[in-house]
Amino acid sequence: MSDPRREPLVRIRNLKKNFGTLEVLKGIDMDVHEGQIMALIGPSGSGKSTLLRTINQLEEVTSGEIWFDGTLVNAPLSHRAREKHLNALRRNIGMVFQHFNLFPHMTALENVTMAPVLLGLQTKDEAREKALRLLDKVGLGDRANYYPARLSGGQKQRVAIARALAMEPKMMLFDEVTSALDPELVGEVNRTMKQLAQENMTMLIVTHELKFAADTASHVVFMADGLIVEEGPPQQVLRDPVQARTRAFLQQDD
Amino acid sequence: MDFDLMQRVWWFFAEASVATIYISALAIVLGLCLGFTAALASLSRLAVVRWPARAYVSVFRGTPALIQLFLLFFGGLQLGLELTPIQAGIIALGINIGAYMTESIRGAIVAVERGQMEAGRCLGLSHAQTMRRIILPQAARLMVRPLGVNSVALIKGSAIVSTISVTELTYTAHRFISSTYKPFEMFILAAIFYLVIITLFMRLIGWIDARVALED
Ligand SMILES: Nc1ncnc2c1ncn2[C@@H]1O[C@H](COP(=O)(O)OP(=O)(O)OP(=O)(O)O)[C@@H](O)[C@H]1O
Ligand SMILES: [Mg+2]
């Protein structure tokens, strides 16, 4: 799957992020290789979401470097040049949010087709056909014409995944995508993510579900207080952690 | 009450209602155009764009509409700007209500969940594309009611153009008072017509609001 000799898809170096005087990321170094399923775990407030959001620049960074597919994401550019650069970058990075953020005034199908058509990447017919295939794949072929308000949380989240996939991204970011769901709806979303993992999608997943991380991830990163404390294969980090901080977190979670 | 007199003159009030509706409708359209422009400007990243929009809102909400109307009509005449009373009335009312509409529209835009802009931008849409396709359609639903309230205020406020002799409802009442000396009856007639116009208008707003409501 991932070949460590190849250039990583995401390369983060000495990344720092402050919100005003609050230091949230204190120097992160991280590589995500193509095909890697990376789970990001850690206590609340440790900076997991912030780290994820700096990769597609929903948050600007304070210092450090983020490289995606060979280009410097946070290159110093004029406002206009930066906007163009980001629009191009973001087409290649899908993101799924905790609260779905589906467009409520569009049907499931329209949610999925809107961006590729508007950006001229697919014709209306192509986009429609592709969207129906994607909705089918996430188990919602029969819900294509439903508005989000008529879908359950789990269904909404699967539409959100299909919407991101319609852009044919090189990588997907997931920020606690099951934590707003009723427990009985978590499984259907997790299954969709596992299926994506099996198809070799590069995924960076912020999650508090350690069992899901253990089953699905190829690599686990444990963060605390804005730093990476420990990382490695799931069986090592989750079963046999080296750092006391990791052990404390895992025990507390049981 | 002199019902006989009221029966004889009511038709003139009906005609005057047309003028009130005409002036109000054009002023509302002008107000909406100004309101949209100023609302988008007031949300701009650039201070030079934001500042004039904010100034517009403060100035026109912070001074009496009557003074604004006099400034435009009489002040305009003095400076060589020759507007007919009807033109001056429509423009002054439109600019005035536009300031209130700016705030209604701005409020609706900022009330759309922040995650919607993020979701749009994450898909590679530009800020403008996200605004047009994602934010504004949702904001539109939220602004129908407040804009309706602004418009009702405008219809009632349009009475001030009677002071520059535009033959609308209030002016018509005054005119008949000077020939009949029956202010009570004449103002009652005018009030009834205002009430009918506004009731019908609120129905229209309710209908639009139901049409644009989210399906759920
Ligand atoms: N926009 C913001 N402005 C100011 N502070 C922020 C902002 N976003 C996050 N923070 C702060 O940064 C810190 C890290 O937040 P972050 O959301 O990245 O943590 P997290 O690890 O994702 O936590 P959780 O597990 O609760 O989601 C927190 O202290 C949070 O309050
Ligand atoms: Mg978080």
Name the residue of chain B whose CA is nearest to A117's CA: B125
Nearest alpha carbon, ligand 1 atom 7: A19
- Reading the block at residue B186, the tokens are 């004449």
Cα(A146)–Cα(A129) distance, integer angstroms: 17
pTM summary value: 0.90
Question: Is residue B216 scored above 90 in pLDDT?
Answer: no
Pocket test for ligand 1, best of A15, A25, A40, A49 (most atoms within 8 A of CB): A49
3-state class (DSSP) for residue B208: helix
Which stretches does DSSP call E strand in A171-252? 171-175, 202-206, 219-224, 227-232
Q: How far is the CA of A54 from the centre of ligand 2 (A)?
A: 13
* Residues B139-180: tens digit of each pLDDT: 999 999 999 999 999 999 999 999 999 999 999 999 999 999
User: A254: pLDDT confidence band, cut at 50, 70 and 90?
Assistant: low
* Residues A121-167: tens digit of each pLDDT: 999 999 999 999 999 999 999 999 999 999 999 999 999 999 999 99
Cα(B162)–Cα(B169) distance, integer angstroms: 8
* Whole-number pLDDT of residue B27: 98
Q: Would you call B121 and A119 a contact, using CB atoms and an 8 Å cutoff?
A: no
* Whole-number pLDDT of residue A1: 47
Mean pLDDT of A11-24: 97
* Residues A224-234: tens digit of each pLDDT: 999 999 999 99
Q: Judge contact between A1 and A27, C-beta under 8 A.
A: no
Q: What is the ipTM of this complex?
A: 0.92
Ligand nearest to the CA of A209: 1
Q: Judge contact between A140 and A162, C-beta under 8 A.
A: yes
3-state class (DSSP) for residue A12: strand
Sheet strands side by side (includes A202-206): A93-96, A171-175, A202-206, A37-41, A219-224, A227-232
Domains defined along chain B, listed by start:
3-215 (1.10.3720.10)
Neighbouring CB atoms inside 10 A of A202's CB total 24
